Structure 1
């Protein structure tokens, strides 16, 4: 039954923007006032879109309830909800996806949460977690807007805070599907990578940026010392190649330019400006050996709420698979948390997160399977590549750095703030004294 409703909904939604008539269900009206409290400040087409969209979602939910006792209900409901979600993400529901998200990020995140719940009931916990992770930046956007908007009411702030807390708690409950940390292995003799390019970008020129007017001698010394120990090429850049955008967008372009050159390196390793290599005895060859990443084209650390692209590794060389992935990510319209959400969006598309293939297989053969990141992605635990300071780790429910770990990333602690800078410099000094 739900498949027929879905087809009807998808046919009607694109045309709905031109028709604001009709009665609005009280439940829909309540959702609009609770989760999209400022639609009245933007053109009427956005209110119409969300009213129609949420009415469709509730109709699907009612169909699911009627079908709940039927054989295969769980996987059927999941496939229907994912097809609906996919239509929104692809801009086939009446608005381009960025416009839909920007007009009501809370409801969009809730849709990912609903799909995640259906994945859990269909015994697909890894898909449930990845769906929540993809929606997490949207929830973060909604919370930030509620807290930072001048004159925002206490009711709106409290509502958004509650929704965000519940979202974070659900993500924490799904931690059991995270990649495990394992003891470090030393790479085998003769496994040295011929050419590794290590790059970082510390752009203090961008007005209003979180590195404005900063100096980065400590960062450069730390990165260069690590690269020199292992014979890697290193360069710190002080101006983004995308001068008209925030520096955070520039890192992918830096990687693309180098990997797309006539003589690309075998691997490209990125270190954010607020990252320190704190155990120089661990080589990138050790990373590949320990986590069996030799076939991976893109390596990044996963945390509770998704990935963090402050540190990543891309396979280069003549095949250029990693380059093609980065170029695809650069076209993503998921620019909500800079490059990070662009990369996560492309990873999701490459890995069948929305279950096009899985649901087709289920409809044709009756077989289904849980989600996994595509084989060309190396998704590793934070301990492998990207650990946070104690404060950020506690706030985000993530893993905290300890002495002896490979890399510390002071995400969430801007170096332009004195306490953060002092902590950064003290740890960098400890690294110099202990190595």
Structure 2
């Protein structure tokens, strides 16, 4: 079952409508960058450097598990798996993986609440071949019935592997205690029960659901691509246009979700968790507005900088003096268009676990003090300078992680200025 892109949209063969060569980068960055806006509304960033060990590429689709149909949990994640299983141009199930893994490369993907990210790295000389196979995932995927059961088992194995990971269990607990009418409450990973057993009982054809989800949610105007190679920027641009120009533009609207995932009746809830591995943590979560449009001043970063400070007079130093806590981290997490969360996580001592209510009281006392003091320009400038220093002297990342991060940010921030946001410290 292949998808005929000509029947979905009338326009293909995208052209370049804007080239951005003035992308802000650090003074120590010797890599070359170029941004592209295509006529199919796809955004692209090219990164060139002659001396790289691995080439890499990532494509981010700004739709994720929050868009799952209510009656089929995990379909966005299942689709992520199925796109690797061949296309009309490259029908072999293992054609992509053979090329990548057989040439010193690595590939993977992940499904987040609001976006899905596909990425790989490979020997630089084989980047053109890999890009062409990769692009076909988003042009004419097969969705072969013969692949469905195997990939369902792969999804289920991923689910079973997470059952004994505390971080995943707690994340699912947070979702399951939210408003059941909000998409945040969904079972995003999926398993054989949600993707096979229950649909079969309800007379739902999972293959049809998969195809309909792809048609309804995947479009070039929701996609951002990052490509790193040892070719020149002009050569990389030609490679991208050759392979990705035919991704159809369905002109889908930008998703936006209800701003309150918990609702009035589900707020102020305390959950007690027995961990798989021994740990003592207290986590406080707040629902906050979606502040992505304020990235230039980054209000969450200001607050996390103060709460996460570890010096004299800090929240953590006081809790340590009382023998209640060992570590503290804070920052935003799990954001999606329409809502966000701010969290404070404390690793407690045994005494702190016994006196957890006092720890919460102290945290709120500190927040009350910050509210009374109000924002300070010198603290904002301190955050700004720390972020700028981190940007100027960033640590080298793995190529696949680098492009994955870039692709996920291009559509959120202006092309000219998105690069610094990848290295700013949002969480202390």
Question: Above 0.5 in TM-score?
Answer: no
Q: Which has the higher strand share?
A: 2
Q: TM-score by structure 1 length?
A: 0.24
Q: TM-score by structure 2 length?
A: 0.24
Q: Which has the higher helix share?
A: 1
